[in-house]
Every structure is written in C-alpha cells, then in structure tokens.
Amino acid sequence: AQKVTQAQTEISVVEKEDVTLDCVYETRDTTYYLFWYKQPPSGELVFLIRRNSFDEQNEISGRYSWNFQKSTSSFNFTITASQVVDSAVYFCALSDPNAGNNRKLIWGLGTSLAVNP
C-alpha cells in the first residue's frame, strides 16, 4: 500500500535558522510523483514543488530546497534562513500514475512549522 510519513508533527525554530522537514514514502511502483504543499494560517493549500521518480536531482528555489533520494524513499524539504512568513503546515504527497482514473494524492499528516522572531 502507498503511504507518506511525515514523522515531525511540529517544529519550532527561531528566525534565520535552517530547518528540514522530513518526508518518507512507500510505494511499489517504479513511476510515481511526489509533491510538497504549504498550508499557511489562512488555510489554503499552496503547491510548492513536483518531482517524478526518475529525476533525483535536488532542486533549489530561493530559500527552499528539496532532496529526493530513492534509496531511502525520502523527499525532504529544507528552508534556509527561515522567516516568520514560513510559518505554516507543510504537506508531502504522493501520486500514483497507475491508480486508474483517480488522480488522488496520498498525503502525509503534515508538519506544523513555527518560525519565531
């Protein structure tokens, strides 16, 4: 069965610290897609990144970076020099292209990040 585990329920850091959010996934498929979404206090879900199973290159977008390692089934997310505006719940999700017509995402339970001034 497919599963996404975000072991860190809550993380609290002080502004300008670096923080890594862990995501471990389980799937039997060789082709799959991984996503990160951000849910700020206002409640909406904001897409951050997509990664397919054949692309293990790390990605950097400003202060955000992602480390995808198939060997450990992990897709970790690092925020460098965190800011108060980064405070949110972050979700990792897995999509299975072999799930027939249903494009549902398998979600982790999220990591609540609090960045304190």
Partner 1 sequence: EAQVTQNPRYLITVTGKKLTVTCSQNMNHEYMSWYRQDPGLGLRQIYYSMNVEVTDKGDVPEGYKVSRKEKRNFPLILESPSPNQTSLYFCASSLGQANTEAFFGQGTRLTVV
For partner 1, give the closer residue by CB, 60 or 99.
99
Positions 7 through 66 that interact with partner 1 (CB under 8 A): 32-33, 35, 37, 43-47, 50, 52
Among residues 12, 23, 35, the alpha carbon closest in space to that of 103 is found at 35
- Cα separation, 18 vs 39, whole angstroms: 19
Widest CA span in the chain: 46
Residues whose CB falls within 8 Å of the CB of residue 42, separated by 6 or more in sequence, listed in order = none
- Cα separation, 27 vs 94, whole angstroms: 9
Residue 45 Cβ vs partner 1, minimum distance, rounded to whole Å: 4
For partner 1, give the closer residue by CB, 43 or 117.
43
Among residues 30, 42, 39, 32, the alpha carbon closest in space to that of 104 is found at 32
Residue 108 Cβ vs partner 1, minimum distance, rounded to whole Å: 7
Span from 13-21, 67-75, 78-86, 101-109 in contact with partner 1 (CB under 8 A): 101-109
Residue 57 Cβ vs partner 1, minimum distance, rounded to whole Å: 16
List interacting residues with partner 1 (CB under 8 A). 32-33, 35, 37, 43-47, 50, 52, 91, 95-97, 99, 101-105, 107-110
